Structure formats: C-alpha cells, structure tokens
Amino acid sequence: MDPAKVQAVIDWPVPKSRVELQRFLGFANFYRRFIRNFGQVAAPLTALTSVKTCFKWSVSAQGAFDLLKNRFTSAPILVTPDVSRQFVVEVDASEVGVGAILSQRSLSDDKVHPCAYFSHRLSPSERNYDVGNRELLAIRLALGEWRQWLEGATVPFVVWTDHRNLEYIRSAKRLNARQARWALFFARFEFVISYRPGSKNTKPDALSRLFSSSVASTDPEGILPEGRVVGLTVWGIERQVKQALTHTPSPRACPRNLLFVPVPTRLAVLQWAHSAKLAGHPGVRGTLASIRQRFWWPTREHDTRRFVAACSVCAQTKSGNSPPAGRLRPLPIPSRPWSHIALDFITGLPSSAGKTVILTVVDRFSKAAHFIPLAKLPSAKETAQIIIENVFRIHGLPSDVVSDRGPQFTSQFWREFCRLIGASVSLSSGFHPQSNGQAERANQTIGRILRSLSFRNPASWSEQLPWAEYAHNSLPSSATGLSPFQSSLGYQPPLFSSQFAESSVPSAQAFVQRCERTWKRVRSALCRYRAQTVRAANKRRTKSPRYCRGQRVWLSTQNLPLKTASRKLTPRFIGPFRISRIINPVAVRLLLPRYLRRVHPVFHVSCVKPVLRAPARLPPPPHPCRGRTYLQGP
C-alpha cells in the first residue's frame, strides 16, 4: 500500500475522551463487514463508550485501536483505483479540518471499498470561512489530492457532501472571488455533487475532526491571561451620584448596598440606563434592571416608565405588540339594492382572450356582484364609461360609490362624474383596505371560483368568468342568509322546470310587495350581522386615543414609499406630524411635509400613535446622534 493514501488513518491520534472514541468507532462501523470478528476485535473499545464505566485507556484498548487501524489500511478493505470505473468522493468539513475518502465499487463483491483516505488541518484563515466555503474547500482539496485519477476518469464521478446548497454551486450565476477561482479548477473534472445527510456521512466527518484536540491546544491566548480577572470599573454616573450625595443625605429606606439618587441627578441615571450605547434603549424592564443593580429612589419604577414612554428614539424605532387601535366602524347599511356600490380591480392575471384585468362591482345591500373583464387598467374616463354600460344601464344610478385610492378614483374627472350623477365618493383612508372590505371579499371569492374552474388551463379564465359570477350571485350570503339574486330581485331564479310555476308572479303589485318584504328581511339581517361583526372585531382591537386638532402624532412607515438603504433598519415611525382635521373617530388628516406630498394625508388611527410628553422634571432623552454616554475610564 502507498503510505500516502492511508496516512490519515495511520496517524489517527489515540482518543482522549469518550466522544473521540465514539467518533473513531463510527468511522470503523462502516468497514466492519470487511473485518473478520469485528465485534470481538473492537470489544475493549466498545466497553469504554458506556457511561456506566469510567473512561480509562488500557493496554487492551490500545491493542484493539492499533489492530483496527491496521485492518483499515490493508486488504481486503482497500482496493487499487481503476480509472475505467466510477469513483465516489465523500467529503466533509468541521471547524478544524476537512476529511475525504476516495472509494470504488469492487467487481468481486459489488461493495464499496475505499481507495485512499485524506485529512487536512485548516489554517487559521481557513477556519474563518463560513460553512458553505469550508465544505467547498473540502471538495477542492480532495479533487486536488486525487486529480491523477479523477481528472483522467472515463466515467463522471460522484461527490457526496452533507451541505445541500453545494448541489447547485456549478450552476450558480453569482460567485464570490474565492468560489470563482475554485470553479476554474472544477472545470477540469466531470463530476456531480450529491447531497447526503450528515447521519450517513460519518466517515469523512470523523477524518475532519482528527485535529480538534490539537487545534484547541494551540489556539492563541485570549486578551486576558489565564487566572486574571477584570478589575472593578467605576462608571462616571456613579461618581456623579456620589458627588450629589455630599449635599443630600440618604434616607433610611434606601438599602445599604444601593446608592440613593437625589432629584437633580435622576435624569442622568435614567439616560445612562436607557439611552447610553451600552444599554441600547431597552424597555421598562431592562432599564429598571440596570438601575436596580446600583441605584434607588422612592419613585424609581414610576419615573422609569414615564421616561421610557416619552423616549422619542423608542417611539420611532420600536413597533408595538398591542392590538390595533380603533374600534370597527362599519359603513351605513343601504335600504335598497344597488344604491350603494363598491369598486375594485383584480390585476396580475394571465392574458385570456386579450383580457388581463377584472373590474369588481359589488352591491353593498344584496352582495350581488358583476365581474367585468378588461384588457388593461382603465383611465378614469374609461372606468366611468364601463360603469355606465354594465351597471347604471341595468340597475340605475347609485347614491354612493366606495373605492380605494387608485388613480382612477382620485382624479378630478371621477369626482365630477359622480357629482353629476348625484353619487357621493367614499375613498378608503391611506393604507387601510378594510374600508372597501366588501369588494376585497368579493375578489377573494371570485379568485377561489376561477382557480377551481380554470386551474388546468389558467388562460381560459375569461371564458369561465360568467359562470363564476352566476355561482357567486346564486349562493347564499353569510350576512343575509339569502342569495344576492333573491336579495335584489325578490326571488331565487329557478334551476329546475318544476319550479317555474312556483316562481311566477301574478301581478306587478305582488312583485313589488314581495320585493319590499325581501328587502326588509335583508336589511334586518344586515343589521344583526353588523352588530355581530362589530363585537367580534372589537375583541381584537383597542379603543383609540381621543385625538384633537393640532395634536402631534407619530406615523407608521409600514406602507410608506420611503427611499432607504435598508428597509429593516428604517424607523418604524416617523414624525411627529400635527393633526389638521378629525375626519371621524377612526380617521385623521395630517399635515405632511413636502417629501410625502404623494401620500394621501388621511390615515386610520391604527397607523398613528400619539407623542407622549416627558415628565415635567425629566426632559426628553437626547437624539441618538447628539447623545452622551456616561461611560468613563476606571
């Protein structure tokens, strides 16, 4: 045998702990079928793995260890590499080294036999690689070690690794400089990287961990020599409090191990515990934890809560975990069908007969809906023409139109059009689609129906749209208990011929009476359903603060189109901004700066929160860029 091929196993160090011994036996278990009486040979080593006995290396254990290493590096385990047959390269990397095994399936017994072992200790710079680069380094070193066989192999070989992402490394479009350099080397070989779970990749894993003990012993010393401790550090804030105590005696209620903080220095203590860089603006609990270690005064908890609540940095950078503010305020219930309608668009659909958009029109009384396919998003004038042809022509003119703040509905043309037909324009507040919830709910329903009807051929959705609309309008609504057809027409269109006689109307007067009875029934059901919805929704909401004109509030940045380098590091709230008008109890209008002129200034109260004032004797915490840190030298 070539000593270089088996050097990694020959130099295997004597295990010094139960874990190292278990690692060696895990490596050995794969080859037990090639070693006669493996259980008897390894018995002294197996006995040492029991937690019931003390780990003590003995002469018999050393003999079994040497015998197993000799068996690993001799026939019948090892075979001579044959470039005409497929190779298997098993690699793994640990924090301290890499290991690899070159194997081939033997023709005599059709079992995988090793051809050579490889183990490499990582340098200090290589140990700084991330996991992916260390695993890739293991492949690079193994291919370089056995390139005389792998580069000339007639059959593409397989590389087994327990790092799944490496399966796609050869097809990746973006590589760093190190990976690109290695990719040029990999181009000389024909191979496939295959993922193998770590539980089945124990052999190269054991070889990669041979250097664990040696690396641990040769690691450079820390900053402090062993046996040394850091001396006590005196904070500048402690000196400041002690200096103030020379003029103010400590009360008897102050614990002996704590310093009493006089009134003039309490602000400095709160700033040190909350606003200093070493504190990082914690909550009330974290700020109190720092203060309680050294300081005391009678109103310590109360002052800390007020100080943290008034911190402008926390107000802008922290998002609350309380339920959204603002009780549910439903829209008024109409008294007849198609007097109040809601509009919305469904976009992002595949082209179907030249159509890519659906205009949803919902009657807020009967819940009936029309779904109109369009080629593209229309302008305000085109939207008005579509509504005239498909809604007004059939159901008459409405008295109110609810929509979101799309450009079609915020334009001057649309407002003037609705004024001329006698309809009021009700636009949703900024970033609050719940205002147009009925149209949003109809969009979800039609999307579910279309997915069911056209999932095999998505491009046919325009052909299925009439059937989807009929299904939506013929099924009972959860709000009224009646179908939209019955709520608006006074009767349910019959599906069977036997129902024709029952649905006939003897006179127009009887038809009108039937409609009026149905509409009263629907309105009463809507009133009951609204009360139930309000109770259920308000369980997950909190009552909003009472705002007044001129009050300052913080504005949430969750939906604002801000241009920032990192969205994750953007403040959760910006401002403060003043309230210019109270629209209703759950909507306010803000005075926004010029850089937000494209944002509609009306917001739901869940998007704002009030600016809390700091205590009168405690000024607000400093701006983070101008703040001071009360940390001084020892």
Q: pLDDT per residue over 489-535, tens digit each?
A: 777 777 665 555 544 555 656 666 666 777 777 777 777 777 777 77
Query: What per-residue confidence (pLDDT) applies to 227?
Result: 45
The pTM of the full predicted model, rounded to 2 decimals, is 0.46
Residue 103 burial by CB count (10 A; 0-12/13-18/19+): exposed, middle or buried? buried
CA–CA dist 554, 552 (Å, integer): 7
Provide DSSP, 47-75.
HHT-TTS-----HHHHHHHHHHHHHHTST
**Which backbone phi and psi does 110 adopt, to 5 degrees?**
55, 35
Query: What per-residue confidence (pLDDT) applies to 171?
Result: 72
Q: Which two tokens stand for residue 88?
A: 């298997």
CA–CA dist 220, 124 (Å, integer): 10
Query: What per-residue confidence (pLDDT) applies to 361?
Result: 93
CA–CA dist 521, 515 (Å, integer): 10
Distance of CA 440 to the CA centre of its chain: 25
Please report, for residues 30, 147, 153, 310, 415, the alpha-carbon distance to residue 2 in angstroms, rounded to integers and kept in the order given. Answer: 22, 16, 20, 75, 90
8 Å CB contact between 551 and 579: yes
Ranges of the chain whose pLDDT falls below 50: 221-224, 226-234, 502-503, 619-634
Name the H helices within 146-222: 147-150, 177-186, 202-208, 212-218
8 Å CB contact between 555 and 591: no
Q: Which two tokens stand for residue 293?
A: 């270690």
Query: What per-residue confidence (pLDDT) applies to 631?
Result: 35
Query: What per-residue confidence (pLDDT) applies to 288?
Result: 92
Please report, for residues 490, 507, 513, 516, 530, the alpha-carbon distance to residue 510 in angstroms, rounded to integers and kept in the order given. Answer: 11, 5, 5, 10, 30
Distance of CA 497 to the CA centre of its chain: 55
